[in-house]
Structure 1
């Protein structure tokens, strides 16, 4: 799990919650069920079982892999529409190509993030490049859906290709954790992702036995999702492991700790820390459309059927059925 690393974390800015900051308790720990997405790549449904009031403004998150593909096995998605929200694709290991009906697209690889604001709508495809399909190899990432407030749902689509070299790197006071701030801010240190809905997205790597207690905005919710390894969440040290999400209650700091012993395949605890300011608007979702009312959902389907969200390019690098 390379993502972005540094030789000496102690050379980085150090962050920690202020003494006396109110610790957020752990309200629940849920285990993500496994499934398949697109043309059959394995995912964990990270937010399954979590009440939406603890998720808002997030909608869903899939952990894609970790999977080591044999030659010819790598899969992607067919062309599909989106409207009314943002997709955030963070690639930890491997490589992914993406393309849309408006001519946008690109390639993201280890530590890169592709932030797509679907807004008023477009057609989109994601797939591994032919070289990965031919050779096989490791693939691991996440895709997060972030809701847009009603005033932004019909804005023009927009991309942000955030290279791993641009993320804000921080550490804990003892250097036992590497914190990658992708979006939002942590203790005044801002990540490169530009958000319409205020959120924070941090990928933390904790060495065995390391603990972080981070300042966290009181108007944000808080979630820790384990990508690899095992540890605990909260000052009460609630156990968490690969594929589990801890939902935090209110407070001004959150705590995550790595177990002293990890398995040989996963030397560290890898965890995503997410939080956002709830939008608190009605949400109507069906498949790839996330709107405020049923009537807006019906309009989205009508627009899609009539080609108003775009058409698949006649010449493009990915087939209509994906791979």
Structure 2
């Protein structure tokens, strides 16, 4: 089986949101999307002082895509107008299907506002095809203990399986579009191989550490998105030092993408309709 090779590396670009340190590799100067992967924000790592204002993501709407939020450090409180509410701690994830429209807030828990502490969060946007953009909104919040871990390569690699299947394991999230999603913790010298990637778009982001991919000689450093070529059905990852990556793959949608703020649709007319529907209260009750 032919392995894929590295096509281009995309560094995360600094774009702070208030006092929240934020870096973004996708979209970037040389990449608009990795269809269907649209957007990645890397918040932190940083430490908030006591008596802080917390995360700035108060009530806001979405339509037409899914969000996957990885809580690496700290805690994140989610609340939406479909009745979902949770506080997810470090190591957990939130998977939200905005579908036809949802209003949610992602903020720091009250205790964090008083005491402060470390924060590191990733948020990834995954597009939905036009036939699913008006799906029923949904939310899944998983704590670290809810996510199965596969110990591989003699214990040098730990794969946290969020969605999809690997080595006989199945992730707890059932994606509408068959997305595979995982986080991979690799010790120095560890390696892992992913197969069955023919016709799939691969999402690979190095959160920390040093990574080698396939026959690519250069070490890939933290906060880089790895864009692979389209040839081949496998990829092998090797860690030079202790390394943490997000690895996913999905079928490309191959439809137009028209994004405006929190809405992702296929035409400008659909964007205008989303704005009109939200202003008319058709996304449901407002959040206080």
| Shift, 1:257, TM fit | 1.9
Residue in 2 that maps onto 1:203 = 183
- Name the stretch that deviates more: 27-36 or 223-232: 223-232
Residue in 2 that maps onto 1:9 = none
* SS state at 2:277 partner: helix
Q: 2:27 aligns with which of 44, 48, 60?
A: 48
Q: 2:202 aligns with which of 215, 222, 238?
A: 222
What is the distance in 2 between the residues matched to 1:23 and 1:171? Answer: 23
| Shift, 1:95, TM fit | 0.4
Residue in 2 that maps onto 1:233 = 213
What is the distance in 2 between the residues matched to 1:117 and 1:90? Answer: 15
Q: 2:38 aligns with which of 59, 68, 88?
A: 59
Q: 2:268 aligns with which of 294, 316, 319?
A: 294
Question: What do the CA deviations read for 1:76-134 (whole angstroms, capped 9, x no partner)?
Answer: 31211100111111212110111112332211112211111111102111100111111
Q: Structure 1 length as normaliser, TM-score?
A: 0.83
What is the distance in 2 between the residues matched to 1:166 and 1:101? Answer: 24
Residue in 1 that maps onto 2:226 = 246
Contact (CA 8 Å) 1:199, 1:220: kept in 2 or not?
no
**Equivalent residue runs for 1:13-32 within 5 Å:** 21-32=1-12
Cα-Cα RMSD: 1.8
| Shift, 1:235, TM fit | 2.2
Contact (CA 8 Å) 2:103, 2:287: kept in 1 or not?
no
Q: 2:109 aligns with which of 129, 154, 159?
A: 129
| Shift, 1:188, TM fit | 4.2
What is the distance in 1 between the residues matched to 2:189 and 2:76? Answer: 33
**Equivalent residue runs for 1:244-323 within 5 Å:** 244-249=224-229, 250-260=231-241, 268-313=242-287
Question: What do the CA deviations read for 1:223-245 (whole angstroms, capped 9, x no partner)?
Answer: 32111122222222332111111
Alignment coverage as a number of residue pairs = 285
Contact (CA 8 Å) 1:186, 1:215: kept in 2 or not?
no
What is the distance in 2 between the residues matched to 1:174 and 1:103? Answer: 43
What is the distance in 1 between the residues matched to 2:84 and 2:166? Answer: 31
What is the distance in 2 between the residues matched to 1:215 and 1:103? Answer: 38
| Shift, 1:40, TM fit | 4.1
Matched, 1:93 2:70: no
* SS state at 1:179 partner: strand
> Unaligned 5+ residue runs, structure 1?
1-20, 261-267, 315-323
| Shift, 1:202, TM fit | 1.3
Residue in 2 that maps onto 1:16 = none
What is the distance in 2 between the residues matched to 1:102 and 1:203? Answer: 28
Contact (CA 8 Å) 1:303, 1:309: kept in 2 or not?
yes
> Unaligned 5+ residue runs, structure 2?
none
Contact (CA 8 Å) 2:11, 2:223: kept in 1 or not?
yes
Residue in 1 that maps onto 2:98 = 118
**Equivalent residue runs for 1:185-200 within 5 Å:** 185-200=165-180
What is the distance in 2 between the residues matched to 1:248 and 1:191? Answer: 24
**Equivalent residue runs for 1:69-84 within 5 Å:** 69-73=48-52, 74-84=54-64
What is the distance in 1 between the residues matched to 2:47 and 2:249? Answer: 30
Residue in 2 that maps onto 1:171 = 151
Contact (CA 8 Å) 2:37, 2:203: kept in 1 or not?
no
Contact (CA 8 Å) 2:153, 2:191: kept in 1 or not?
no
Question: What do the CA deviations read for 1:151-200 (whole angstroms, capped 9, x no partner)?
Answer: 11111111112232222311333321111111122244221111112211
Bigger fraction of residues in strand? 2
